[in-house]
């Protein structure tokens, strides 16, 4: 039996990346810097600067997600038909226009137009994941998605810190400036896709082997492995990211009774953990089944939400403040295991010519969880059901553990990251030795 291969280092990972992958990865943090500047302050900007009611401002934020969900289906089909490069390019340009308009919006109708255009960015996730999957093959995908996630958080975190020191509700022009910076940052992927990556269309033709492959969204979603993965993705968003802008800060303020400064430090701790730990986690999970990694992640999230719930027993104390910060440390550690695995599983399950549809389904479930999470959290916490809120999230994490067990019995070995097993992964390995159809080499 052959010895296990050496663990991947950051240097060897970079050396193994194709040129197109290096271009994409090297600009991620800069691209997301502008998004980080605006993300924490959009509701504050709409409400306190432009005088839009808090409920309307919250609805406008939810509308961005809703538009993204509506466009996910057509976006996935467009990726398969026209290529991920073109879809990403168009979505970035439309999003850029929306961000710039929002920076000057002084009324609800103008803000509605802006957020509608920003919602088009919902198609960029399935398009971008399809683009990455076309460029990066085999086990390297897990590494790529993980490092990309760390860089996304680095860019957003730095942007949030800078804008936190810069914006002032008494000076509306400071908010206009950060939205203009956000718009300019979206020019970076546009330049990449029109320049160094102009040959990467990320579109594959249907194979002529006569095999009947399900092509409709309903047929794809009914496949056993994909069905369980989609349900897992929805719950992960519902109990995870869907609570970060609503459930977590509301619980921390109302039940734990900590200051906004403590909440800010908690988010900073989350970013620091992801940036510092992501590659170390990638090295530890290399060679392990992705479903087992997800089981560890759900266990960590159970501990995190339980800890946050306990802070409600000691409100307005140093212990509560430390617990709130530690919650985000644990939550961020769990994120470093979630983000590399689910996109890799999705793209390893997908045939090349249907990658857009598979990623669109995953994106749709993710965004749907982002809509449902704040709604449920708002209802429970508005009615002072803090205990029920924590119990629901812990139960959701526990259900994810069970779903992962079910998924492991239905997922092909190659999609689960298993090594030393005869599976369709052999085909993926052979692709590394020849030009990929999604990349023009001429």
Name the residue with tokens 């857009």: 356
The pLDDT assigned to 10 comes to 74
pLDDT digits (tens, 9 = 90+) for 119-131: 988 888 788 888 8
β-pair partners for 439: 200
Give residues with Cβ within 8 angstroms of 162, minimum separation 6.
33, 36, 37
This prediction has a pTM of 0.77
> Is a pLDDT exceeding 80 seen at residue 5?
no
CB 190 within 8 A of CB 86: no
Predicted confidence band of residue 432 (pLDDT cuts 50, 70, 90): very low
Q: Report the range out of 307-311, 349-353, 423-427 with the highest average pLDDT.
A: 307-311
pLDDT digits (tens, 9 = 90+) for 222-231: 888 999 999 9
Structure tokens at 288: 């392990």
**Virtual torsion, Cα 245, 274, 65, 365, nearest 10 deg:** -120
The pLDDT assigned to 235 comes to 94
Helices and strands in the chain, H and E counts: 20, 0
| Domains annotated on the chain, with CATH | 19-203 (1.20.1250.20), 221-422 (1.20.1250.20)
pLDDT digits (tens, 9 = 90+) for 102-149: 999 999 999 999 999 999 888 887 888 888 888 887 778 888 888 888
The pLDDT assigned to 206 comes to 65
pLDDT digits (tens, 9 = 90+) for 182-236: 999 999 999 998 988 888 776 655 665 545 666 788 888 888 899 999 999 999 9
CB 243 within 8 A of CB 373: yes
């Amino acid at each position: 039996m052959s010895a296990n291969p050496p663990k991947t280092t950051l240097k060897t990972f970079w050396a193994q990346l194709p040129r197109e992958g290096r271009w994409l990865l090297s600009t991620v943090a800069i691209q997301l810097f502008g998004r980080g500047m605006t993300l924490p302050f959009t509701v504050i900007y709409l409400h306190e600067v432009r005088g839009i009611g808090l409920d309307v401002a919250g609805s406008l934020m939810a509308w961005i997600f809703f538009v993204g969900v509506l466009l996910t289906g057509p976006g996935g089909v467009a990726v398969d038909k026209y290529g991920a490069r073109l879809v990403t390019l168009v979505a970035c340009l439309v999003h850029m226009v929306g961000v710039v308009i929002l920076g000057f919006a002084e009324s609800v109708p103008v803000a509605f137009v802006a957020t509608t255009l920003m919602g088009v960015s919902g198609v960029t996730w399935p398009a971008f994941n399809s683009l990455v999957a076309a460029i990066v093959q085999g086990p390297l995908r897990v590494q790529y998605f993980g490092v990309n996630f760390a860089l996304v958080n680095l860019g957003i975190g730095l942007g949030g810190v800078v804008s936190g020191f810069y914006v002032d509700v008494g000076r509306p022009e400071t908010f206009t400036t950060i939205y203009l910076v956000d718009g300019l940052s979206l020019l970076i992927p546009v330049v990449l896709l029109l320049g160094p990556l102009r040959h990467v269309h990320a579109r594959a033709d249907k194979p002529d082997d006569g095999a009947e492959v399900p092509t409709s969204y309903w047929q794809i979603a009914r496949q056993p492995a994909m069905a369980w993965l989609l349900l897992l993705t929805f719950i992960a968003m519902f109990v995870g990211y869907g609570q970060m802008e609503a459930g977590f800060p509301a619980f921390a303020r109302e039940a734990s009774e900590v200051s906004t400064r403590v909440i800010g430090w908690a988010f900073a701790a989350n970013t620091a953990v992801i940036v510092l730990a992501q590659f170390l986690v990638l090295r530890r999970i290399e060679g392990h089944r992705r479903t087992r990694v997800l089981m560890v992640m759900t266990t960590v999230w159970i501990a995190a939400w339980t800890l946050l719930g306990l802070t409600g027993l000691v409100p307005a104390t140093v212990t509560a403040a430390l617990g709130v910060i530690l919650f985000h440390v644990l939550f961020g550690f769990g994120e470093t295991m979630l983000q590399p695995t689910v996109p890799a599983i999705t793209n390893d399950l997908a045939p090349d010519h249907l990658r857009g549809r598979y990623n669109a389904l995953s994106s749709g479930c993710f965004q749907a969880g982002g809509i449902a999470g704040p709604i449920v959290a708002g209802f429970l916490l508005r009615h002072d059901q803090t205990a029920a809120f924590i119990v629901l999230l812990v139960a959701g994490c526990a259900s994810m553990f069970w779903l992962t067990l079910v998924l492991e019995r239905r997922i092909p070995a190659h999609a689960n990251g298993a090594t030393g097993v005869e599976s369709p992964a052999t085909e993926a390995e052979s692709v590394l030795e020849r030009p990929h159809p999604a990349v023009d080499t001429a």
